[in-house]
Amino acid sequence: MSFSVNIDAGLMNSGGTNSKTGSYQLVIAGGGPAALSAAIYAARYGITHVVLESWKPGGQAALTAEIENYPGFSSIAGSDLTNAMKKQAVEAGAVFVMETVESTTEINGKIKIKTDSAEYTTDYLIIATGAAPATLGVPGESKYYGRGVSFCATCDAPFFRNKKAIVVGGGDSAVKEALHLTHVVSELGLVHRRDKLRAEPLLANKLINNEKVTPYWNSQLAEVVGDDQGVTGVILNTPDGKKHIDTDGVFLYVGTVPATEPFAGLVDLDAKKAVATQNIVGTSNPRVFAAGDVTNNGFRQVVTAVSEGARASAAVFELLEMQE
C-alpha cells in the first residue's frame, strides 16, 4: 500500500501565485483562517498588502473533515469554509502569493521578509502561520510516513477503506479525525496516554460509543512496525506491558508545533515557541501582530483565529491612520 498526504485537498488556488516582490504597508504571513480574516479586513481597509500563504492554503482548518462549531454552519467541511473565506478575501481585493517565509529582520523601522523566491519590505507584519502536527519520534514513525503513517485522516482515509487503523492522541483533532475514520475503516484503535480524553465531551462520547472503536487507555505508541508494503502493526506500552496490535494505518494527533522559526529574532516566543502575545494580537515588537494557532492565546478554534486576524488588521489600520 502506498499513499501520499494531499495537503492541497480540495483547496482553491485562485487569487494569484506570482511573486509580488516590493514594499507594502502590511504583509500577512499565513494561509489559514486567521490570515484569511486578516486579509479580508486589510483589503477592505484599503491597506497596501500582500498575503504570503505558503504551500498549504487554508491551513490546518482546511484539512479538517467536518467543522461543527463555527457559527452559522452546524456542519461544514473545513476546506469548504476556508475556500469561502479566501474567495471573500480575493473579492475584497486581497492579494495572495504562494511563498513560504524563510527569514525576517527589522532594518531602519521597516521589516524585511525573505521568502523561498522573493523579498518584501513592510511597515507592519501579521504572523498567522499557524502550527504543524507534532511528531512522537518513535521508531518507524518517519520510516512509514506516507506508507501507513499519516497526520491527516481527512486526506488519507480513503486508503484505509475496510482496513484497520489506529489513532494516537486524545484532543479535539484526534477525536474528530477518528470519527471521520469510523465511516471508512473496519476497526479503529484509539491510543491515549491517559484514561480521559481532552476533547469536547459530546464528540468524545460519540467516538467511544462507536462499535468499531477499541480504546487503549494509559498507553503510549512505542513503535510502528511494517514491511516493504508499509505499516503492519504497532507496539504499545500499556499498563500490562508491551502489546503488539495489527493495523494498516497509524494517524498521529499528539498536538501541534507553532510555525515560528522565521520570526524568532523579530518577536518574543514563549517556552513552547508560540508567539507571546500582549492584548491578544500585539507582540513584543510594535510593528508585528500575531493571530491564530501560532500564538499562545490558548483557545485554538477557527472562530478565535478569525477574530484575532480581524483585530490584527484593525490594529494596523489604526496605526497607519495615526501616521497620516
Stretch that binds ligand NAP, among 142-150, 158-166, 227-235, 253-261 (CB under 6 A): 253-261
Give the integer Cα–Cα distance in Å for 248 and 262. 36
Identify which of 185, 187, 188 has the alpha carbon closest to the alpha carbon of residue 159: 185
Nearer to ligand NAP, 76 or 92 (CB): 76
Stretch that binds ligand NAP, among 157-165, 179-187, 191-199, 268-276 (CB under 6 A): 191-199
- In angstroms, give the least distance from the CB of 85 to ligand NAP: 16
Helix (H) or strand (E) holding 243: strand 241-246
Nearer to ligand NAP, 218 or 284 (CB): 218
State the catalytic residues: 152, 155-156
Helices vs. strands in the chain: H and E counts, helices first: 6, 17
Nearer to ligand NAP, 15 or 169 (CB): 169
Stretch that binds ligand NAP, among 5-13, 166-174, 265-273, 284-292 (CB under 6 A): 166-174
72: left (phi over 0), alpha (psi -120 to 50) or beta: left
296 sits near ligand NAP (criterion: CB under 6 A): no
Q: How far is CA 214 from CA 57, 72, 148, 189, 211, in A?
A: 34, 34, 19, 5, 8
Task: Return the residue of 11, 77, 136, 257 that touches ligand NAP, per CB under 6 A.
Answer: 136
**What are the grid coordinates assigned to 314, written together?**
484593525
Nearer to ligand NAP, 94 or 167 (CB): 167
170 sits near ligand NAP (criterion: CB under 6 A): yes
173 sits near ligand NAP (criterion: CB under 6 A): yes
Task: Return the residue of 30, 140, 169, 230 that touches ligand NAP, per CB under 6 A.
Answer: 169
Helix (H) or strand (E) holding 241: strand 241-246
Stretch that binds ligand NAP, among 107-115, 225-233, 249-257, 258-266 (CB under 6 A): 249-257
Residue 87: CB atoms within 10 Å: 14
- In angstroms, give the least distance from the CB of 166 to ligand NAP: 13
Give the integer Cα–Cα distance in Å for 267 and 193. 34
Q: Which residue type, as a one-letter code, is found at position 177?
A: E
Give the integer Cα–Cα distance in Å for 297 and 152. 24
Nearer to ligand NAP, 12 or 61 (CB): 61
* Chain positions contacting ligand NAP, by CB under 6 A: 67, 69, 136, 169-174, 176, 193-194, 198, 220, 253-256, 300-301
